Amino acid sequence: MTRRPEAHLVLSDGTSFEGEAAGSLLDGGIVTGEAVFNTALSGYQEVITDPSYAGQVVAFTYPHIGNYGVTSLDAESAATHLDGIIVRDLPPLHSSWRAEGSLEDFLIDRGVGAITGIDTRRLTRHLRDAGAMPCAFGTGGLDAVSAAAATAEGTDGKDLASTVSTTAPYTVGSGSLRVVALDLGIKTTIVRHLSSFATVTVVPSATTADEILALDPDGIFLSNGPGDPGALGAVVSTVADLVGTRPLLGICLGHQVLAEALGGRTYKLPFGHHGSNHPVMNLATGHVEITAQNHNYAVEAGTIPGAQVTHINLNDEVIEGISVPSARAVSVQHHPEAGPGPHDAVYLFDEFARAMAEKGER
C-alpha cells in the first residue's frame, strides 16, 4: 500500500496528535465531533454502525482494528451515523471466513473518515482525565485542523435521536405478542431479539402516545439512541403518558427517557461508558453481570420518586436499572442484547415477554 497522507488530530483543549488519513479521509477534508473512547477488543463494525454514536468520533483503545474485516451480518443499522474513528493501527490485510470485505473499504463506501497511527493510549488517558470533548482531525494541516477543533461541538443539549430515527413505521417478526418500539436509534440486534417472540412495529421518535396505543400493543419498548436525554422533552412527555398503560422496557437512552418521564434527572458522565466488560450488580439476585455499555449520560440517584433501583455499575455506582412494578415499567442503562458483548443480561427480554403474556391473561 502506498504511504498514507499525513493527518492531524486536535482536541478542543488544544492537545494534538500526528497520524495518517484512512477511510474516506483519504480524499482529504476535516472531520469534527465529540471524542470518546471504546474499550471493546472486538466488535468494531457493530460500534461503527450503532446509531447511538451519532455526533461522536470513536477512538478504539484496542490497537489493531480491522483484523477480521466486515460482514453485513454484523451491521447494527443500514447507515453509519458516527462522525469518524480513531485507531492505532488499521491492518492492510484481514482474515476471517465470515468477511465480505475490508474495514477500510467499508469506511470508504460509508463515507466514514478515519485517522490511524495515533497514540491511542495517550489519547485515552487524556480523555479519561479531562473528559470527553469536541475534536477535529483531517489532512488540511495542523493550523486548519486546530481551527476546526476550536469550533467543534459536543452532544450537550442536542436532540440527535430524531436524526437517526426511522421516518416511517415498519414491522418485523410474526409472533403472537405485539410490541411497539419507539425508535430513538434502535439497533438491529435489539429488533432481532424482540422479533424472536413478538411482532414488532418500529415507529419514529415523534410518534405520540395516542398513536402508539392505537396500535394496540401488548408491550412498549424504548430504544437506545444518541445525544442528550435532556433535549428530548417531547419524547419524555410521550413516555410519561405511556407509563402504566402497557408493560414497558427501556434500554440505554430509553432508560434515561423513562427516568425523566418518572420525574428523575439525568447528567453527563465525564467520559461515558463505552465497552463490553462493565460489571453490573443485579440487586435482586446479588449476581454480577458483565455487560456491554455505550452511553454518555446517566440517571441521577435519588431523583426518581416511586422507582426501585435494580442494577448498579460496580465501577462507579452509576444507576444501571430501575423498575416501577405498579406500572410494569423496567429499564436498564446497559445493553442486554450485546452486539458486541456478553449475554449475561439477555434474560431481560424473556422477562419482558412474560410481562406481556401475563397482561394478555388478565
DSSP string covering 55-92: TEEEEESSSB--TT-B-GGG-SSSS--S-EEE-SB--S
> According to the CATH classification, is domain 161-361 in 3.40.50.880?
yes
Cell numbers linked to 359: 397482561
Within the chain, all domains assigned CATH 3.50.30.20 are found at 6-151
Classified by CATH at the fold level, domain 6-151 comes out as Glucose Oxidase; domain 1 (3.50.30)
124-144 pLDDT tens trace: 999 999 999 999 999 989 999
Calculate the dihedral angle through the C-alpha atoms of 73, 76, 79, 84, rounding to the nearest 10 degrees.
-110
CB of 342 within 8 A of CB of 276?
yes
Average pLDDT per block of 10 residues along the chain, 362 residues long: 88 98 96 97 96 98 97 95 97 96 97 98 98 96 97 96 97 96 97 97 98 98 97 98 97 98 97 95 96 96 94 97 97 92 93 88 46
Rounded Cα–Cα distance for residues 68 and 70 (Å): 7
Rounded Cα–Cα distance for residues 87 and 94 (Å): 15
Cell numbers linked to 180: 411497539
Catalytic residue list contains 211: no
Contacts 24+ apart (CB under 8 A), 343-352: 344/289, 344/290, 344/291, 345/280, 345/289, 345/291, 346/193, 348/249, 349/193, 349/194, 349/196, 349/197, 349/249, 352/219, 352/221, 352/247, 352/249
- Residue labelled with grid coordinates 460496580: 314
Cell numbers linked to 50: 450503532
CB of 135 within 8 A of CB of 113?
no
Angle at 194 (CA atoms; ends 188, 200), nearest 5 degrees: 90
* E strand or H helix that includes residue 162: helix 161-164
CB atoms near residue 49 (< 10 Å): 24
Supply the pLDDT for residue 306: 87
Within the chain, all domains assigned CATH 3.40.50.880 are found at 161-361
Cell numbers linked to 231: 433535549
Rounded Cα–Cα distance for residues 331 and 253 (Å): 10
Could you write out the DSSP letters of every residue in 304-327?
A: -TTPEEEEEETTT--EEEEEEGGG
> Which candidate in 126, 274, 295, 335 is catalytic?
335
Q: Distances in Å between the alpha carbon of 314 and those of 253, 287, 292, 319, 337?
A: 20, 12, 13, 10, 20
> Which candidate in 104, 289, 320, 337 is catalytic?
337
> Which candidate in 8, 252, 295, 320 is catalytic?
252
Q: Distances in Å between the alpha carbon of 24 and those of 7, 83, 121, 291, 343?
A: 13, 11, 24, 32, 34
Supply the pLDDT for residue 360: 54
Supply the pLDDT for residue 339: 79
Supply the pLDDT for residue 362: 42
CB atoms near residue 172 (< 10 Å): 16
Could you write out the DSSP letters of every residue in 108-160?
A: HHHT-EEEES--HHHHHHHHHHH--EEEEEESS-HHHHHHHHHH---STT---
**3-class DSSP state of 282:** strand
Catalytic residue list contains 337: yes
Catalytic residue list contains 34: no
Nearest to 278 by CA among 332, 239, 329, 230: 332
